[in-house]
Chain A
Amino acid sequence: MIEVMQFEFMRNALAAGLLASVICGIMGTLVVVNRIVFLSGGIAHAAYGGIGLAFYFGWPYLAGTLGFSLGAAMIMAAVTLKDKHRADTIIGVIWALGMASGIILIDLSPGYNVDLMSYLFGSILTVPDADLWIMVSMGLFIVALVAVYYKDLLALSYDEEFARIRGVPVTALYFLLIGMLAVTVVMVIQVVGLILVIALLTIPPFIMEKYARSLLQMMIGSSVLGVVFTVAGLWISFAFDLTSGASIIMVAGIFFFLNLLVERLIPGRRKIPKKNIAVEPQRS
């Protein structure tokens, strides 16, 4: 691994992977406990529409993508709050429409062709320094926001109604959460690709959810797991000459199933004892 580090592209790839792991560890924890994985997928895919828009109108890439994704994300957030039962359908529609409009807009843009594969799987091996700094500042921004609103986010995620009664500005906070998610997804996709973002948002927090005793522990644990997956995946991709993003996801996936397996084989203390399982009221 050491000799690999003499290549600048490898150092940057590692740095980008680590930053993405930490950012996704924090946001992914909130995504998993709030059960908005599908919504995150929707944002990530709809963002492609923003890319198309930026190319077609010659807008700056980031402004176009970020603006479009934030817009799509806010619509999804509003629908989720207003009509929970229809939300998944509407998100699916925005998901598909965003992606399709992006592809058509890029078709219509003269003389320019964006590689869809690099959008899906990113190009972690060609991350420029400038992108790294964007990720650093974004990471700090997210850590700060989550720190300020930690207790409110916890209450919102655990029991929305109770949070409302305690005076937590639930609606505004939910929009903030989805907004942060949109920013995260757009920025991190640019570096590591859409598929890796979704993997890092879901797999580490899912594994950690069972072992953590607080949201904070889950965030830290997920970040650490993400780092482990990234380092291992990058090493494998280098050693066996495989696609880096896909290698990282394979490592994460193997951990995911190993974790499920271990849980089955060792019914440890974390399993709820039988007698404690909720019993329906009985007739006596």
Chain B
Amino acid sequence: MRRIISILMENEPGALSRVVGLFSQRNYNIDSLTVAPTEDKSLSRLTLTTSGDERRIEQITKHLNKLIDVVKLVDLTEGAHIERELMLIKVKASGAQRGEVKRTTDIFRGQIVDLTNSVFSIQLTGTSDKLDAFITALGENVVLEVARTGVSGISRGEKILSL
């Protein structure tokens, strides 16, 4: 099962490598990973997606918690949550294609953020599924380049991940 784990960790050199190293060391997989500082400069927030059965996820969270640089973590998928991923995608757009791509972008509520005579650069935000669907809708032969941020997430309601 797919899981989204959000981690608050010390904004120290080497902290990221400890998290990433743990996954390869223990043969866990990371599907996506995103990390950036938070409002508290001493903390970074790292969000990763992984998959596994209950037991494996339990081991992953236990081992993450053991890392000295990890201050707090939450498995967002345990409760109601909001997840978003941002994608910048460059597609072929010339002649009749331009209208078609524009319509598809509108349907997905994306924005064309740059263009040339033959190319659109589109920005799209949403769940990973939505981004996948957009790529499928455009068709493989249109897509030139994809840059995705990986999933970031937050719990719904009043539940917060902070110290």
Answer whether A and B are interacting partners. Answer: no
